Structure 1
């Protein structure tokens, strides 16, 4: 004790070298900004890797894996993070529009699913970690495809190299991750596209429009309308010719196979039945009615649900995009 300075000398020593204080532990848990940055990095990195020629491709499906404690803490901020991520995606796309002539994603929406887990892919998930798994489309958790493949092709940042790498992931890898339904978000694409200008109608027809007649003798390869559809979780496209005045859109099941006027869609996201499309002879227009508890949209407009026994019909434009449960896209084109 005799070696310690006392009096004014001790005070001067404390002034020049303040006594040590216990340090406050640094909070290293993942922040909202960190989650956002990882999402944006996964999206931006995918553009040069996935794009081909003049067509821009990019990751549209994302799984965000957090430590369970961080998941609980950040859950209320997930919608804001998703909104900010999509805004960043649009900014990135706009900045690269000169390089690519067209935007050609293989999905119809951005899909985000958050989950909590303590381990993923052989790596421990710590509170400071944010693991983002990205894919063009069809990441399994929450998609419930008809048949689960043995592996799914994804990209993720490898911890050892800190680089994004393409890899096959066994679907069982996700089984211990708690993907809760409140942590799932779907945001439909809203790109600025150059639409083809409609042809001008003849002056006489414009002045006195006449409703078109239904052709009585249709070619075997044509119909009243053509429906090109895309199934997001299977990355599958198909074409359906509407030859009947009324058709039913339903999930592809054995019990539906014998109905000739059914458009059968191989997707767990399509209800049974999901909707009906008809040509109204009296009004000379196409109409649609939705029966699904999941949403049906026509050109971004939500169509309310009705009962199959009492359908509520809504006018269907001659050219329209019909979105079933945010996962199956129908491109409707009248031939009349």
Structure 2
């Protein structure tokens, strides 16, 4: 009996060395709203540096935020506030870089956030302490019909080993274990005032700046006229190109407010499908295609390029542009 520990000694031992019990990680304590916000800002800033090129500012506009189901349930009421703070932070970053970039050229027309709960992503387990942010330039996230036609998508995600974001291709099967609920989806439209390059004040009226050669003197006359015919609807309409660069895209509610979008009511048009711009240096129009479907100019196939790195091709003053063999654009430059 003398060799057996007394009751008080046994209790003391339990205090110093607690008995083994299963530990439940509290998602409220491990993942804060601020941490989710910081992950979103980090993803945005990485894309801003990675995707911007020359004098054009480009960045991710669509974000997937993947959390453990317990964390999702604990944090879902704060999602609208997190999104609002994230958008304010994005705008501040953009405003701070306006002097560096002359043009703000997002591929999408809105910021899109989608939260989901899952226990696995890309073969890696998702724990209560994990926050996965996947960023993309435009609508290639789950739920986008255009994206679903492809086997893989281009995204950026943070790698655990390096703690850095990297651009990768992800198979759509990666998302099959994630529960993306409609209450966890948020769309915030944006509109930017593109800064104009400063012009020197003329000393006399005779030295006032002249319009670029070959372009109409009246802005109201437009730079070009684009007539478009949609075969599936047997519908024809006309578009006056007033901006030096426009985006050709499918007609979607999120694109309605964008002033330089040519919106086409056709399922055969990608979102976006192409861009048309006037090159002041070369003094002619150019076109770049971003669609996985065919884009032809006067029967010549225009190879597809990435929105972050457009490959421009000369667009004749008079041209027929065929989108996916179903939508015909007749382009006519104004003198």
TM over 0.5: yes
Q: TM-score range by the shorter chain?
A: 0.5 to 0.7
Show the counterpart of 2:175. 174
Show the counterpart of 1:236. none
Show the counterpart of 1:200. none
Give per-residue Cα distances to partners, 1:18-73, cap 9 Å, x unaligned. Answer: x8697998745311111101000000111111111111111111111011111111
Q: Cα 1:298–1:323, aligned 2, differ >3 Å: closer, same or farther?
A: farther
- Over aligned residues, Cα RMSD in angstroms? 4.4
Inter-partner Cα distance in structure 1 for 2:260 and 2:115? 32
Instruction: State the shift of 1:322 in Å.
Output: 8.7
Q: Cα 1:141–1:185, aligned 2, differ >3 Å: closer, same or farther?
A: same
Q: Cα 1:38–1:100, aligned 2, differ >3 Å: closer, same or farther?
A: same
Which consecutive unaligned segments of at least 5 residues does structure 2 have? 3-14, 198-219, 240-247, 266-270, 277-333
Inter-partner Cα distance in structure 1 for 2:77 and 2:118? 18
How many residues matched?
234
Show the counterpart of 1:259. 235
* 1:114 maps to 2:90: no
Q: Cα 1:226–1:29, aligned 2, differ >3 Å: closer, same or farther?
A: farther
Give per-residue Cα distances to partners, 1:236-270, cap 9 Å, x unaligned. Answer: xxx98358xxx9xxxx7x742x334599x975x74
Which consecutive unaligned segments of at least 5 residues does structure 1 have? 2-18, 197-223, 228-238, 271-293, 300-318
Query: 1:82-231 residue pairs with structure 2 within 5 A?
Result: 82-145=83-146, 148-194=149-195
Show the counterpart of 2:82. 81
- Secondary structure (helix, strand or coil) at the match of 2:145 reads coil
Instruction: State the shift of 1:155 in Å.
Output: 0.6
- Secondary structure (helix, strand or coil) at the match of 2:30 reads coil
Give per-residue Cα distances to partners, 1:83-118, cap 9 Å, x unaligned. Answer: 000111111112222222222211111111111110
Q: Cα 1:115–1:240, aligned 2, differ >3 Å: closer, same or farther?
A: farther
- Secondary structure (helix, strand or coil) at the match of 1:45 reads helix
Inter-partner Cα distance in structure 2 for 1:266 and 1:242? 15
- Secondary structure (helix, strand or coil) at the match of 1:98 reads coil
- Secondary structure (helix, strand or coil) at the match of 1:192 reads coil
Kindly name which structure, 1 or 2, has the bigger radius of gyration based on alpha carbons: 1
* 1:62 maps to 2:34: no
TM-score of the superposed pair, with normalisation by structure 2: 0.56
Inter-partner Cα distance in structure 2 for 1:21 and 1:155? 45
Instruction: State the shift of 1:138 in Å.
Output: 2.5
TM-score of the superposed pair, with normalisation by structure 1: 0.56
Inter-partner Cα distance in structure 1 for 2:84 and 2:33? 12
